[in-house]
Amino acid sequence: MSRNHFNPGRKSGFAVSRTLVILLTAAALVLLGVILYTQRAGFHAGTMARKPKKSYSRIALPRRIMLYTGEKQTLKPRKLDSGRELPEISWDTKDPSTAQVTKGNVVSARKAGKTTLTWRTDSGEKQNLTVFVRRKPTKKVIYLTFDDGPGARNTPRLLNLLKKYDAKATFFLVGTEVSAHPEIVRREFREGHTVAIHTYTHNYNQIYKNTSAFFRDFDRIEKQLTEITGQKPRFNRMPGGSNNAIVSRKNAKTIQRILRKKGYVCMDWNAATNDAVGIAYSTDTMVRYGMKSINAVRTPIVLIHDSDMKTKTVPVVKKLLEHYTKKGYSFEALDMYHGPAIQFTK
């Protein structure tokens, strides 16, 4: 038989072998695909498992705000942990007829009064916010400001008077007196008055030696008042005003520039009872001087002192409150002031 003779059995064997190879190759490819898919899926699963959960920052919001009826204020939470996300904030309103919070942390003042709002986050933080709502003034607003306190005798008596006349005021505080009477500062803040920075030592020669000396003193009382009230102050008044005889004009301007950069309003005054001049004026003389200076300006920011050495402060303030309340004027804290800062040195 020749080599080219047809052999059906041999051809059939070749066909079976080739088919088997194809099937085995296909099976291997399928198996390889399954392995690769499983590994890839496992990689992604592992990656997802290792992905950290969202880390939310602790936040700070004001402890107290003051609004006129009809006003709104958007509260912007401040992050206390850098690099983390801000959490969602939910609110509980004790008295929505006085004030309530809407989307975006917007507080709306409805009627005069005082209420407490409570905010909380998913991370477990919780804090109260006190809202004072004041009636919109119909006449001139007078801003009483008291320097050098708190005085152990004078300041509580002044707070009683202010409460009687539904009046608010601003207290520029001295750190050494704050250390002696922190409970008075808490009362000032709790009753809706503005707690502001005057100085820690009130030692002119020390604090006005240079800019660094001023801010060593300033940082000390800033920390002190923030710890007592839970809220950083907004206002500052330089001892003696910004153009006193001790500080140079150059240093005064530098100090004010740095304070503004820190977010402070530097506030002097444009009216006074003349109790700082060192002359023993009578109560009536100081009242007349105070009224004359108040009537002379559109928006009076009145300088008075509430340290205990000022024995006429309480009767003078009582007469001013009586006189201007009868005329329909209102007395507000500087937290309600939206005009330009009164500054002797600009």
Q: What is the pLDDT of residues 178-208, one digit of tens each?
A: 999 999 999 999 999 999 999 999 999 999 9
CATH fold label, 59-134: Immunoglobulin-like (2.60.40)
pLDDT tens by residue, 119-169: 999 878 999 999 999 998 888 999 999 999 999 999 999 999 999 999 999
What's the rounded mean pLDDT across residues 59-78? 92
pLDDT tens by residue, 72-88: 999 998 888 876 788 88
Residue spans in the chain of domains classed CATH 3.20.20.370: 141-336
Q: How many other CB atoms are there within 10 angstroms of residue 309's CB atom?
A: 9
Surface-to-core class of residue 38, CB atoms within 10 Å of its CB (0-12 exposed, 13-18 middle, 19+ buried): exposed
Residue-level pLDDT at 27: 72
pLDDT at residue 338 tops 80: yes
What confidence tier does 6 reach under pLDDT thresholds 50, 70, 90?
A: very low
Structure tokens at 318: 């009582």
Got the DSSP string for 262-325?
A: TTPEE---SEE-STTSS----HHHHHHHHHHHHHTSSS-EEEEE-STT-TTHHHHHHHHHHHHH
Q: What's the mean per-residue pLDDT of the chain?
A: 89
CATH fold label, 141-336: TIM Barrel (3.20.20)
Query: Which phi and psi (to 5°) does residue 113 adopt?
Result: 155, -165
d(CA 9, CA 175): 112
pTM of the model: 0.80
Residue spans in the chain of domains classed CATH 2.60.40.1080: 59-134
Query: Which phi and psi (to 5°) does residue 27 adopt?
Result: -65, -40
